[in-house]
Chains A and B, each alone.
Chain A
């Protein structure tokens, strides 16, 4: 009950936001939405599957380039471009994920990183197709989205739609199976789950939504550069998720708000943004494991108050 109250409140604020803030902050808000979606998709792997991907920006990048190229070279409507972005990123995730899900832990992290860098170099070097290190310029959204406030609402609804779908997945038997794999992969194998296949499906889902987030970026920035698929970019969803809290569905979104606002504020008066965010990360890792939402859950929500149906002999166990 409490959570739905907060969600409705956030939704109303999100709707009202563009009429009370200036254009600069609308830009910031759009960035929060796009990067938040990117971070939530990353957390499908990290929070729900228990594997740290250090190459998730590659799928963000593939999505961004797909929509960017389609807008520049074809007359396809934007929503169709987004679908193709998701499909392209999902396909890339299928090919590379096939190998990545064979590994876990540090090896998973490094292999995702190596593949991510591979995609980055392909985009970086393939001048004829991707424009190489010049990136793509002049990606213009359709007329009705030229106004930044319109683009904000457009992004808001797409991101909400994507979040709803991912939330449904996380609450589905499939989502619970991912948690089971995170908690004890061996046991999951011995109840009859093909663990690698499930991890691969999840990898593809995460890649598709990263691709959607990437697709939203081009028409917003009017340009894209290969840098948005390299490993430094892959660090951003990791930061956001750790700041916000990987064990809560909205954790990465909260992290995206904090990270992006901090970025907008700090870069206003110092060029030393990496130094600042580096210090923030160290503080969070040392003193706030579980992130902001982890802290909120610990402080205000009694532990293990998971709502389940009362058992037939209920009462003796934990509180419902």
Chain B
């Protein structure tokens, strides 16, 4: 029972990590808090549904759909950055926030227009349909898949940021825009790339979320707030922080729902508020930026 709850918390935490890592990356590099991140995540889920729907009975239908959904969402992210976000780099924080907030309203309505108000359901392929038994406890095999993807993305991102040339440039941009542009690297291209990457991960997360339960309008609203909490707790721009905070929030939620179901979310907000008060730059962030 405890173990099952732990695994459910772990898969929840991984889902949060997939969303929050992109959010944190975008904020760390571009200094823009993307309210629309979870709305785009939801678009990823719907896109996955559509691709899956168009590929009846294909053996690899779901897996291909997940990949296609993430890829198309990256393109959407690319366009949003190039058309809208780029115009507000030099604006005030409030204007940037409002712009992405307005995107939430627009995207949510567009979802309604395109996919309608009915919930969507994806039938899982047999591989991940049934429970698996670990230590005698029945576990949703799809959860295992979610957890694997979460770890995979975490390792992939870490490898990208630490080991590749582009990763080094992105990490340098977190600390100083001037330095990077002094190196002769065009900042707008980095920003577009980072934004598209962040949205790609959000799309991947959304697509993976799709077969978990049914896809419902408004799912994004609860998720964005929790993703904010994760990013705050971990520290803006810190991959490790986001990873740890995701797991903490996922587990706190999973266990408090057993003990005190009404207080689960409230508890997360209290933790977030505490971190903000004591260490505004988060558990793993650096206090440089305030």
Contacts and interface: CB of A to CB of B under 8 A. Distances in A.
A222 interface: no
Contacts of A122: 266
B105 A277 contact: yes
B135 to A, nearest CB: 34
Interface residues of A, number: 38
Contact of A114 (B88, B106, B229): B229
Most chain A CB within 10 A, of B87, B99, B102, B225, is at B102
Given A114-B269, A285-B88, A274 B95 contact: no
Contact of B101 (A107, A235, A272): A235
Secondary structure at the B interface, as helix, strand, loop or mixed, is helix
A289 B95 contact: yes
Interface residues of B, number: 39
Nearest to A281: B102
Contacts of B70: none
Given A118-B273, A121-B266, A275 B97 contact: no
B237 to A, nearest CB: 12
Contacts of A194: none
Nearest to B277: A99
A319 to B, nearest CB: 29
A272 B269 contact: no
A197 interface: no
Interface in B234-261: none
Interface in A266-320: 272, 274-275, 277-279, 281-282, 285-286, 289
B106 A275 contact: yes
Contact of B33 (A106, A235, A239, A281): A106
A231 B225 contact: yes
Given A232-B221, A286-B87, A275 B33 contact: no
Most chain A CB within 10 A, of B87, B105, B113, B276, is at B105
A188 B273 CA distance: 27
Contacts of B221: 232
A279 B105 CA distance: 9
A110 B99 contact: no
B280 interface: yes
B85 to A, nearest CB: 11
B101 A114 contact: no
Interface of A: 46, 52, 54, 99, 102-107, 109-111, 113-115, 117-118, 121-122, 125, 231-232, 235, 238-239, 242, 272, 274-275, 277-279, 281-282, 285-286, 289
Of all A-B residue pairs in the complex, the 8 with the closest CB atoms, nearest first, are A278-B105, A275-B109, A274-B105, A278-B106, A281-B102, A125-B262, A278-B102, A118-B269
19 contacts: A46-B94, A52-B94, A99-B277, A109-B33, A110-B272, A111-B273, A113-B228, A114-B269, A114-B272, A117-B225, A118-B269, A235-B101, A274-B109, A281-B98, A281-B105, A282-B106, A286-B84, A286-B87, A286-B88
